[in-house]
């Protein structure tokens, strides 16, 4: 097998368990290889570090699959890993709808699998894992026995790997649209055209965490998407919810979810840019008992963290000004590079500039079916605060 040797002066990140090897960390490669091939990785002293697939077209040259030199990457390997991932979910979450495989955090780099009722939505995001897609689909069918499997490989990430975007049925022909139930709230999931794999499961436990603070409250939910937080707020007894999103399509789906849950009259929807609307509401002197901010990632790159920081600070500052004294700010970031401490510092600055005092009620991360692998810090991406505001 082709051998890859790491440079002498690199940090011990890879040897300590991080699964990514960048091109600039490699001293030399001994042997021939093509994109998707398995290679062995050694440190500069010749000590075996791990085995994984290589792709010279990718920003990440190698993604490690195993630290065991003698473990073969074959059908049985994927059966062990997928079964282990599934058994873990069965212990920690309701598996009616959940994330089944979370890439590197489940030691299957590049593979995402979500389950919505009896259907699986799958993403093979890297060239290396794409080579095993048929094997993976067969094992998922064997282990989980879904009614159908749908491919959501319409992500631009695949193009960085030299892959084309595509989506379609991998097992069965079915209506790629289903209704899931989350914390008692029903939600439409568009497996074919919804965001990512169809729905954001990672905030499930955080949506449950707002139940006590929203009762009998007026709530402003910004970046509401298809209404998951807004619907939870109404379900948990909010007096009234104003939900905001810039996407007309997302709001139309959210309105369907309102009807589905018989919540007509409890939620008003506004199609607008949340930045502009927060500023407008502030100028009007409007206030709410609870303000929820759950924006999309403002950056997926460390190089853009400065501008992302400014964006997060602006929306949180304005959100804080709209909270009634004694009310609550519920705020989140799904940008990995907005590290927990940096996010906390930003909130402190925003509170100072808004002339508000904040008390931390709760800090949370992503749901348990999106586990944080300590050797792979990129697997911790979601930060979620509930703050009491004065």
Catalytic residues: 334
Whether the Cβ atoms of residue 69 and residue 40 lie closer than 8 Å to each other: yes
111-116 and 97-102: which strand pairing?
antiparallel
Whether the Cβ atoms of residue 38 and residue 73 lie closer than 8 Å to each other: yes
Closest-CA residue to 230 (of 118, 336, 100, 330): 330
Please report, for residues 7, 39, 44, 62, 174, the alpha-carbon distance to residue 10 in angstroms, rounded to integers and kept in the order given.
6, 19, 10, 15, 50
Whether the Cβ atoms of residue 84 and residue 157 lie closer than 8 Å to each other: no
Beta bridge partners of 48: 42
Q: Where are the alpha helices (DSSP H) in the chain?
A: 75-92, 127-130, 133-144, 157-160, 204-208, 211-214, 228-235, 248-260, 274-284, 305-321, 340-353
- The string of DSSP codes covering 262-324 is T-TTTEEEEES-HHHHHHHHHHHT--EEEEEE-PPPS-SSGGGHHHHHHHHHHHHHHHHHTEE
Query: Cβ of 359: how many Cβ atoms within 10 Å?
Result: 10
Give me the numbers of helices (H) and strands (E) for the chain, helices first please: 11, 20
**260-275 burial code (b ≥16 CB/10 A, e <16):** ebebeebbebbeeebe
């Amino acid at each position: 097998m082709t051998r890859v040797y790491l440079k002498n002066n690199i940090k011990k990140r890879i040897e300590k368990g991080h699964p990514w090897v960048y091109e600039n960390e490699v001293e030399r490669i001994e042997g021939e290889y093509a994109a998707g091939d398995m290679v062995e990785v050694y440190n500069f002293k010749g000590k075996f570090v791990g085995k994984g697939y290589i792709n010279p077209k990718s920003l990440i040259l190698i993604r490690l699959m195993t630290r065991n030199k003698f473990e073969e990457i074959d059908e049985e390997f994927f059966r062990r890993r997928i079964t282990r991932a599934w058994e873990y979910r069965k212990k920690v979450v309701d598996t009616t709808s959940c994330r089944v495989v979370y890439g590197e955090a489940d030691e299957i780099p590049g593979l995402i699998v979500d389950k919505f009722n009896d259907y699986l939505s799958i993403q093979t995001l890297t060239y290396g894992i794409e080579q095993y897609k048929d094997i993976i689909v067969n094992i998922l069918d064997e282990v989980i026995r879904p009614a159908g499997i749908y491919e959501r490989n319409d992500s631009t990430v695949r193009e960085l790997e030299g892959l084309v975007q595509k989506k379609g049925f991998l097992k069965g022909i079915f209506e790629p649209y289903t209704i899931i139930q989350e914390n008692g709230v029903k939600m439409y999931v568009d497996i074919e055209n919804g965001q990512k794999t169809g729905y954001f499961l990672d905030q499930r436990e955080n949506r449950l965490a707002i139940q006590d603070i929203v009762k009998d409250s007026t709530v402003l939910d910004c970046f509401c998407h298809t209404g998951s937080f807004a619907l939870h707020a109404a379900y948990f007894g909010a007096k009234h919810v104003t939900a905001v999103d810039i996407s007309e399509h997302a709001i139309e789906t959210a309105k369907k979810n309102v009807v589905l849950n018989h919540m007509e009259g409890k939620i008003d929807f506004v199609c607008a840019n949340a930045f502009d609307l927060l500023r407008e509401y502030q100028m009007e002197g409007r206030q709410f008992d609870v303000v929820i901010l759950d924006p999309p990632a403002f950056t997926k790159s460390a190089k853009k963290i400065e501008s992302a920081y400014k964006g997060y600070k602006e929306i949180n500052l304005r959100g804080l000004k709209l909270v009634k004294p004694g009310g609550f700010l519920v705020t989140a970031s799904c940008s990995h590079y907005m590290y927990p401490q940096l996010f906390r510092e930003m909130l402190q600055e925003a509170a100072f500039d808004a002339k508000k005092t904040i008390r931390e009620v709760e800090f949370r991360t992503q749901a348990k079916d999106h586990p944080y692998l300590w050797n792979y810090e990129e697997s911790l991406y979601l930060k979620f605060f509930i703050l009491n505001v004065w």
